[in-house]
Amino acid sequence: MERYFVMKKLFKTSLFVISIFCSNTSMQAHAEKSETYNQLNLFADVFERIRSQYVKEVEDEELIEAAINGMLTSLDPHSNYLNSKKYENMRVQTSGEFGGLGIEVTMDKGVILVVSPMDDTPADRAGIEAGDYITRINGEQINGLTLNEAVEKMRGKVGTDINISIARKDENSLIELTLTRAIIEVNSVRHHIEDEVGYIRISSFTEKATPGLREAISEIKKELGDNMQGIVLDLRNNPGGLLDQAIDVTNVFLDRGEIVSTRNRNDQNIQRYNAQSGDSIDSKPLVVLINGGSASASEIVAGALQDHERAVVLGTKSFGKGSVQTVIPLSIDGAMSLTTAYYFTPSGNSIQGEGILPDVVVEQLSLENKEIVENRRSESSLRGSLANPNTIQPNPAEKSDDLVELDDAGEVIINNSLDEEELEKEEGNDIIQRTTTAQDDYQLNFALNLIRGMAITSNN
């Protein structure tokens, strides 16, 4: 109890100091300050009650860390606290090499939503798809865990197995998978040649994205020479990454003009990022492929190239994450990832919760039976997601979810009982097909034919 009274005394002292400082301010401002410190007193009371009366002993550090993370995660799905270990993991991940399953996730309705698996990783090989919900890890419910806690459970010693339970649209029971953890070396850029068209896929915007892109373009130009008809840039299922890499990748194809702008609260501190002269493919035709797994940095690239009419954007609507997170180091070796701004395309549009609409909408079809094989989840469907700053709309957190619900015990209920009208609305969404050749990828096939047609037109 001694610590409790010390904390109370400190808060009362703070109130006294604040009251002196505010003596020359309005009574309303003083009342607001007092109310704030009353709430801090409440926090101190709850903290001490847990320490002294909870059924089992909990470390002070654990309680405080949980309180900080709860404060951040209540703001939006992308703000969170990183202790020293998680902070280091984040830095390793953005460098392009880390340990785990190879999956980009976010939190939605208390369970883990898969934004996108990464190419040639355990998650990819196991058949995990964008839009899947991970509901259990090694038999333990996800509900009640923070996003960082869930991610931490999916990481572990290389070579060890992990069991996960997945809820998927059109599946009436959970899918049980066993994956083996591996070192995830993200080869974020891959390329090959389809006849006289260069195909380049960027799977994530790590520090290696721009150097990898320039190398891929150089090799394609070296092999095709003047016969190169154009480039297909595949950003499907790319969950994003570093802002500077998105800007640099866009700059590879733009000769001038704004790439993206970021604006914080009340449109203060607007930062604009502009292209430098030089188009690395000499204004050859360019098609950008996107789908519901294309998020954040991918949308910056697609939006800029679309607004400047430098590329034809093809596929289905993107995820719609139009917010910027700043990683702010803290005094105790940790950090917080805080949403600090929205980003806007060159035309001044925010895609937050709305996504990039392609110039040419092409659903991903199965070439064998012509059925649509897509199932998209989007930013606007996430609980607590931010509203688009360009529009007035209800809080997306109020929206219901068609796929998963939680019962009173916190168990996941899979809801596939949609009527025909709802099913029609659900079609045209993106399940990930990690296909990179025109023989089994309908969208890519369409893009290649479009490039060839554009090349013929430009040559006449």
* CATH code at position 178: 2.30.42.10
Structural domains of the chain, count: 3
| pLDDT for res 37 | 86
Contacts of 230 (CB under 8 A, 6+ apart): 197, 198, 281, 284, 285, 286, 287, 451, 454, 455
pLDDT digits (tens, 9 = 90+) for 177-209: 999 999 877 678 999 999 999 999 998 898 899
Per-residue pLDDT at 452 exceeds 80: yes
- 278 and 422 share one domain: yes
Based on the number of CB atoms within 10 Å of its own CB, is 438 exposed (0-12), middle (13-18) or buried (19 or more)?
A: buried
Catalytic hit among 132, 307, 430, 441: 307
Rounded Cα–Cα distance for residues 119 and 293 (Å): 13
| pLDDT for res 413 | 54
149-179 burial, b if ≥16 CB within 10 A, otherwise e?
A: ebbbbbbeeeeeebebbbbbbeeeebbebeb
Per-residue pLDDT at 248 exceeds 90: yes
- 144 and 221 share one domain: no
- 222 and 124 share one domain: no
pLDDT digits (tens, 9 = 90+) for 49-94: 999 999 999 999 899 989 999 999 999 988 999 888 778 777 766 6
- 365 and 389 share one domain: yes
Task: Check: CB of residue 437 under 8 Å from CB of residue 201.
Answer: no
Rounded Cα–Cα distance for residues 182 and 160 (Å): 8
Residue 127 lies in a domain: yes
Residues of the chain with pLDDT > 70, as a percent, come to 78
Residue 66 lies in a domain: no
Residue 244 annotated as catalytic: no
Residue 202 lies in a domain: yes
Catalytic hit among 321, 337, 385, 430: 321
The phi, psi pair for 349, rounded to 5°, reads -90, 140
- 53 and 89 share one domain: no
Residue 67 lies in a domain: no
CA 64 to each of CA 207, 333, 437: distance values in angstroms, whole numbers, following the listed order: 33, 15, 51
Catalytic hit among 116, 165, 203, 296: 296
Domain boundary among 134, 154, 185: 185
For residue 124, the enclosing domain spans 83-185
CA 282 to each of CA 62, 155, 303: distance values in angstroms, whole numbers, following the listed order: 56, 43, 20
Domain boundary among 139, 154, 185: 185
- 104 and 252 share one domain: no
**DSSP sequence for 47-90:** HHHHHHHSSS---HHHHHHHHHHHHHHTT-TT-EEE-HHHHHHH
- 111 and 31 share one domain: no
Per-residue pLDDT at 359 exceeds 50: yes
Sign of CA dihedral 173, 177, 183, 184: negative
Residue 307 annotated as catalytic: yes
> Average pLDDT of 159-170?
90
Residue 72 lies in a domain: no
- 120 and 196 share one domain: no
How many C-beta atoms surround the C-beta of residue 129 within 10 A? 24
